[in-house]
Amino acid sequence: MQRLRALHPWLGRLPPWGLVLLIWAGSRLLTTTLLATLFAVATRLDWPFASYRSDPNFFTFSGSWDSSFYRQIALHGYPSELPTDAAGQVEPNAWAFLPVFPWLVRGVSAVTALDFYVAGTLVAIAFGVGAALMLYRLLAPRVGEHCALWAVALFCFGPLSFILQVAYAESLFLFLVFASLGLMLSKRYLLMIPLAVVAAFTRPGVLALSLALAILLVLRWRERDRFAWRERWSIVVAGLAIAAAGLAWPLVAGAVTGASDAYLDTELSWWTGFVGRVEFVPLTPWFLMAGQYLGVAGTVLVLVLVAGFGWWLSRRALHPLRPEIVAYSASYGLYLVAVFLPQQSLFRLLLPLAPLLGDPAIARSKPLRRGLLAVSVALQPVAIVLLWFVGYP
């Protein structure tokens, strides 16, 4: 980043947040160019893809896949009856998607008279900027400006970074989570509640914040002389409030549809193409998926991945990120292993672990950071083709 500042005198006068905006702008220029080029090629060659084809344009293309469900929620709300197939099994439906993003986009559309997909893209971009700024603000006090800026660069230019500017809820969720983590680091636990509650109705995964607070409480309890009771109760209240919000959506779906398992059955309907109709058992989805396709080797692979992630989090190099960021990362990793069936969406769901890009070992190694950035940029068009044309991200 020192070399970036040396490119032109005015770069040297930019504050850190200005460099973050510059990195974001450069990444959006690249990603938009890739998306627009592939959209033009696909349209010219009449490739099939998942956008709203009655009016094919770049913004409807940016509203492919899950965005169609967000549009349905914004325009028509949620179904009062779950759709089922001939065998009575629940089919994929809008209850798998949370309401904050589509309602926000609907509000923007109402105020600006913009189409849903145009408004959704603009909302995603705005909160993508916010997420990048929050990521820098989260990391800089812990690991320094140099390391934090490299983390932002890897976040903005990552293989899945195109998801931060399409009509998905990711950028909004990341902004809320990074802001909540920043409040956790500054010990303003009660202020986390409104942000985390909104995040809980934006996208699944906010329970990781609640578990991170529980871990932090245990760790801080060992520092009794410096751990005031007011702070203890703030952590407890925030953790319980966030946990309640994170568990609320299945209850809402059950109350509206009259089916207590409405949300779970809806989520499982997406699993059928990979593992068939199965019962949900926590902590087994990864083993189920790996065993289905790789047998015993798949089980071993999952254990190796879990052990490798645990080793990464336990490394001394991550001490500047301890304990809050490491506790959150461990909690979010546990959440993914506990409830998520690993398939192509896994790459998108790893984005909330972006604070780990602040690992000082990355910024200290010039070959590593340059290699990661180069690989990330090279994988962007591959990810767009595979996850925006062939399959959903």
How far is Cα 15 from Cα 210, in angstroms, rounded to an integer?
33
Residue 43 confidence class, pLDDT cut points 50, 70, 90: confident
Confidence of residue 4 (pLDDT cuts 50, 70, 90): low
Helix-, strand-, coil-residue percentages of the chain, each rounded to 5? 75, 0, 25
What's the predicted TM-score (pTM) here?
A: 0.94
359 pLDDT above the threshold of 70? yes
* 87 vs 105, more confident: 105
Task: Tokens 């998905």: give the residue.
Answer: 168
- CB neighbour list of residue 240: distance below 8 Å, 6 or more residues apart: 210
Q: Give the mean model confidence (pLDDT) for residues 354-359.
A: 96
- Interval 200-241: pLDDT, tens: 999 999 999 999 999 999 988 877 657 788 888 999 999 999
Residue 304: band (very low, low, confident or very high) from pLDDT cuts 50, 70, 90: very high
Model confidence at 62, pLDDT cuts 50, 70, 90, reads confident
User: Minimal CA–CA distance to 328: which of 351, 346, 353?
Assistant: 353
Most distant CA pair in the chain: distance in Å?
A: 69
Burial level of 138, CB count in 10 A (0-12/13-18/19+)? buried
Give the mean model confidence (pLDDT) for residues 349-353.
97
**Which phi and psi (to 5°) does residue 160 adopt?**
-100, 15
d(CA 357, CA 139): 9
Residues 5 and 302: their CA atoms lie apart, in Å, by 42
As a whole number, the mean pLDDT across the chain is 92
Task: Give the mean pLDDT of 32-59.
Answer: 81
Q: How far apart are CA 295 and CA 292, in angstroms?
A: 6
Q: Which pLDDT score is estimated for 7?
A: 47
pLDDT digits (tens, 9 = 90+) for 291-301: 999 999 999 99
Structure tokens belonging to residue 10: 């005015």
Please tell me the predicted confidence (pLDDT) of residue 86. 87
Distance CA 260, CA 250 (A): 8
Among 11-20, 35-44, 99-108, the range with the most confident prediction by mean pLDDT is 99-108
* Residue 365: DSSP 8-state: -
pLDDT of residue 3: 55
User: Which three-class secondary structure state does DSSP give residue 202?
Assistant: coil
Among candidates 54, 116, 141, 122, which has minimal Cα distance to 325? 141
Instruction: Give mean pLDDT, residues 25-48.
Output: 90
